[in-house]
């Protein structure tokens, strides 16, 4: 026997590899007996016999036109891979169709995340045969086990997180504005309410110029949504003036201690945003600018904008949205339980933080 066909020590409780099957195919073509093949590969003779049966193929001899049976490593490996897909425990959700229907309804119609769905089941009065954890439900959705729900129905979908850039260069078009580096500790660590993040949600190209001004309170995630006639500095200042007139100067200053924005052109009038419209030469808030290309510095607002996109998909004509619809979206966001708030709603957390 050649030196590459040396006898191996008998392996127990080990599966044959594709290399083993290729070697087995070569030895079988050399008319080696199953006992000899088993000694070379290092498995029992019975294992070789079973593998011969699994990988058996019928071929046609070209010279005699007679069919014969032989062993194919590829056929054996393909069967092994196919059977291997059925390994592991059965699905935990089993045949609990009532639970499946409830989950699909809450995610699609209720626009809830899997985590909120599971927490709602735990705290609800209705019980199901099966109990799932959040991680298991996410795994089932990733594997496509639900008929109506997939990752496209989730807020974030299934995407890889991008590495954060460590370059925090200043904005060259906004030299005079306060940098986020000057923001107070209370605003940074979310230890008190009254510190907000602000951005705009735009509509589809070629449609109306209307946009949504979104403000997110950092500590409680309370949301305010205001429709603007355009993405301009004047419209942003006018919207904040309207809120100040509604709340009063002192109450506005108490509720809006600081506002953090990006370096978009609509937010460059820092003097107009900070100046009170009810008492001239008096500040009503403090404005901070995040670093360019650093959206994570306004992460709460970015997350809320992503949730708003579930109601206002990209390409939507925002000019067609009425006040009632915008109010409905705002109320849904403010009454949606959050894991980070111990499953309180932003409205509840904001009132408790008062």
Distance CA 303, CA 301 (A): 5
For residue range 240-252, list pLDDT tens digits in order. 999 999 999 999 9
Q: Which of 5-19, 26-40, 282-296, 326-340 has the lowest mean pLDDT?
A: 5-19
Give yes or no for residue 179 having a pLDDT over 80.
yes
One of 3.90.550.40, 3.30.420.10, 3.40.50.10800, 3.40.50.10890 is the CATH number of 180-352, namely 3.30.420.10
Q: What is the pLDDT of residue 14?
A: 79
Of 112, 200, 215, the C-alpha closest to 154 is 112
Q: What tokens does 306 get?
A: 């992503």
Tokens of 330: 């705002």
Q: What is the mean pLDDT of residues 7-12?
A: 68
Report pLDDT digits (tens) over 115-134. 999 999 998 877 888 888 99
pLDDT at 145: 86
More confident residue, 105 or 94: 105
Q: What is the pLDDT of residues 51-75, one digit of tens each?
A: 999 999 998 888 888 999 999 999 9
Of 1-15, 150-164, 181-195, which range is least confident?
Answer: 1-15
pLDDT average, residue stretch 205-213: 93
Over residues 219-233, mean pLDDT: 97
How much is the pLDDT for 92?
A: 78
Residue 340, SS3 per DSSP: helix
Higher pLDDT, 166 or 291: 291
Q: What is the pLDDT of residue 320?
A: 95
| Mean pLDDT to the nearest integer, 287-301 | 94
Other CB atoms within 10 Å distance of the CB of residue 184: 14
Residue 70 belongs to what H/E stretch?
strand 67-71
pLDDT at 178 over 70: yes
- Single out the residue of 187, 196, 176, 192 nearest to residue 259, CA to CA: 196
Q: So where are the chain's domains?
A: 3-84, 97-153, 180-352
pLDDT tens for each residue of 268-292: 999 999 999 999 889 999 999 999 9
Residue 327 predicted with pLDDT over 90? yes
What integer pLDDT is reported at residue 155 of this predicted model? 78
Averaged confidence pLDDT in the chain = 89
pLDDT value of position 1: 47
What are the start-end ranges of the E strands in 155-285?
Answer: 195-202, 211-217, 223-228, 258-261
> Is pLDDT above 80 for 3?
no
The vertex-29 CA angle with 28 and 35, nearest 5°, equals: 20
């Amino acid at each position: 026997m050649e030196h590459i066909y040396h006898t191996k020590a008998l392996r127990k409780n080990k599966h044959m590899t594709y290399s083993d099957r290729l070697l087995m195919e070569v030895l079988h073509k050399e008319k080696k007996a199953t006992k000899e093949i088993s000694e070379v590969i290092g498995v029992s003779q019975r294992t070789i016999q079973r593998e011969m049966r699994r990988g058996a193929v019928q071929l046609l001899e070209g010279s005699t036109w007679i069919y014969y049976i032989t062993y194919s490593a590829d056929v054996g490996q393909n069967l092994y891979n196919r059977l291997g897909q059925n390994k592991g425990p059965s699905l935990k959700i089993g045949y609990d169709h009532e639970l499946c229907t409830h989950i699909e309804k809450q995610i699609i119609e209720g626009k809830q995340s899997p985590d909120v769905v599971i927490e709602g089941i735990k705290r609800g009065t209705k019980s199901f045969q099966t109990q799932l954890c959040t991680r298991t439900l996410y795994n089932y959705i990733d594997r496509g086990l639900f008929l109506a729900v997939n990752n496209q129905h989730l807020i974030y979908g299934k995407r890889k997180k991008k590495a954060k850039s460590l370059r925090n260069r200043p904005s060259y078009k906004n030299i005079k504005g306060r940098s986020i580096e000057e923001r107070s500790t209370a605003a940074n660590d979310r230890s008190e309410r009254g510190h907000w993040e602000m951005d705009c949600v735009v509509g589809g190209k070629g449609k109306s110029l209307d946009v949504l001004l979104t403000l997110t309170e950092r500590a409680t995630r309370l949301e305010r949504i205001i429709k603007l006639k355009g993405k301009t500095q004047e419209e942003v200042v006018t919207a904040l003036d309207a809120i100040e007139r509604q709340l009063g100067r002192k109450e506005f200053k108490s509720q809006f201690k600081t506002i953090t924005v990006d370096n978009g052109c609509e937010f460059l009038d820092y003097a107009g945003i900070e100046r009170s419209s009810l008492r001239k030469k008096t500040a009503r808030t403090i404005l901070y600018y995040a670093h360019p290309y650093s959206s994570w510095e306004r992460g709460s607002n970015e997350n809320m904008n992503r949730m708003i996109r579930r109601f206002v998909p990209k390409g939507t004509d925002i000019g067609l949205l009425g006040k009632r619809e915008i109010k409905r979206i705002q109320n849904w966001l403010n009454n949606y339980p959050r894991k980070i708030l111990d499953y309180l709603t932003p409205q509840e957390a904001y009132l408790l933080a008062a």
